[in-house]
Amino acid sequence: AALCLAVSSYGQSGNGKQPISQPLVSHIYTADPSAHVFKGRIYIYPSHDIDAAVKEDDDGGHFAMRDYHILSLKKVGGKVKDHGVALDIQDIPWAGRQLWAPDATYKDGMYYLYFPVKDKQDVFRIGVATSKKPQGPFKAEPEPIKGAYSIDPTVFKDDDGSFYLYFGGIWGGQLQRWNNNQYDPKGALRKGNETAVLPRVAKLSADLKSFTEEVKEVKILDKDGKLFLESNNDKRFFEAAWMHKYNGKYYFSYSTGDTHNLCYAIGDNPYGPFTYQGIVLKPVQGWTNHHSIVEHQGKWYLFYHDVQLSGKTHLRNVKVTELKYNPDGTIQTIDAYK
């Protein structure tokens, strides 16, 4: 995430609203929960927030995380287990600082953890690490994934066995510096009347460690078929991509960042285009909003975070609540505070 503004008052008991869910763990701060069901158990791949005493800046420098802890639970409402350190920044040969939001997948007896971290030149890149166990420990590949950049990787397995990596985040996530897949350190944020920066996708190779194709932009369209402008910042992509499939349709969800919504758009294939539908989760306590959507035992769940435990935007706690669809396939908007 980028800019850290004052923590919003959404959901504070002071305004008469109460959270609909409680933090899943409270012994550590966790955020950006990517949840998956592996062998019937829910595994959550979150960021591990720490207070690194880094001064707040517009690029999210105070989100200075250094390792990952994987959480797991038998079912929603059950006991949550912290499996300890799964990957440490010091064991990623190319890493500089800021281990941000990860995601994971499984193929042929191996688990793959995708993670963004700044390299030693302070450019965000995406790496992959492997383990025989869903909870790790994971071993990082010696180099970042060739052609991958920016932050917030999310991996999606389609029904035909193909895997896709979606990624990107503007502002502190540096996506505005990548045009035509080339890095421009001076790449600026778009102006209000310019087309908003788009998230990216590429199909993964059979070993899930590289791309089989050039990275493409993911088009998110309004109901008139037009791309959003930067001034549509209550709907345009900022960061935190997630892909899931429901009734044969592809649901691309994401955070609008500086307007703090979690939105979604629906498409007919993994590349899109995706047509904007509405809000999944209204703004939560804290600046960032980041989630995953997963089915378990016949129900759909939204994993998300807020800052209920700390009141500080960089010290978050993961939560879960049920997600419901309308008969037409649209998602019922969730307000995390009632």
The site for ligand FUB, by CB under 6 A, has a size of 14
Give yes or no for a contact between 280 and 291, defined as CB atoms under 8 angstroms apart. Answer: yes
Given the structure tokens 């959550």, which residue do they identify? 44
Choose which of 118, 200, 236, 290 interacts with ligand FUB (CB under 6 A).
290
Binding status of residue 47 toward ligand FUB by CB under 6 A: yes
Catalytic member of 49, 103, 152, 239: 239
Give yes or no for a contact between 86 and 138, defined as CB atoms under 8 angstroms apart. Answer: yes
CA distance 338 to 186: 43
| Least separation in angstroms between CB 46 and ligand FUB | 9
Closest to ligand FUB by CB, 97 vs 133, is: 97
Q: Is 331 left (phi over 0), alpha (psi -120 to 50) or beta?
A: beta
| Least separation in angstroms between CB 213 and ligand FUB | 24
217 annotated active-site: no
For the chain, the maximum distance between any two Cα atoms, rounded to a whole number of angstroms, is 52
Site for ligand FUB in 172-201 (CB under 6 A): none
Cα 143 to Cα 114, 137, 227: the distances in Å are: 12, 18, 34
Write each residue from 220 to 239 as x if it is in contact with ligand FUB (CB under 6 A), else as -, in one continuous string: -------------------x
32 annotated active-site: yes
Closest to ligand FUB by CB, 171 vs 207, is: 171
Binding status of residue 151 toward ligand FUB by CB under 6 A: yes
- How would you classify the pairing of strands 110-119 and 103-107? antiparallel
Closest to ligand FUB by CB, 19 vs 49, is: 49
CA quadruple 297, 301, 305, 306: dihedral positive or negative?
A: negative
Closest to ligand FUB by CB, 78 vs 311, is: 311
- Give exposure, 180-207, as e/b (b: 16+ Cβ within 10 Å): eeeeeeeeeebeeeeebbbbbbbbbeee
Write each residue from 121 to 150 as x if it is in contact with ligand FUB (CB under 6 A), else as -, in one continuous string: ------------------------------
User: Which run of H or E residues covers position 222?
Assistant: none
Which positions touch ligand FUB (CB under 6 A)?
Answer: 1, 31-32, 47, 63, 100-101, 151-152, 169, 239-240, 288, 290
- Residues designated as active site: 32, 239
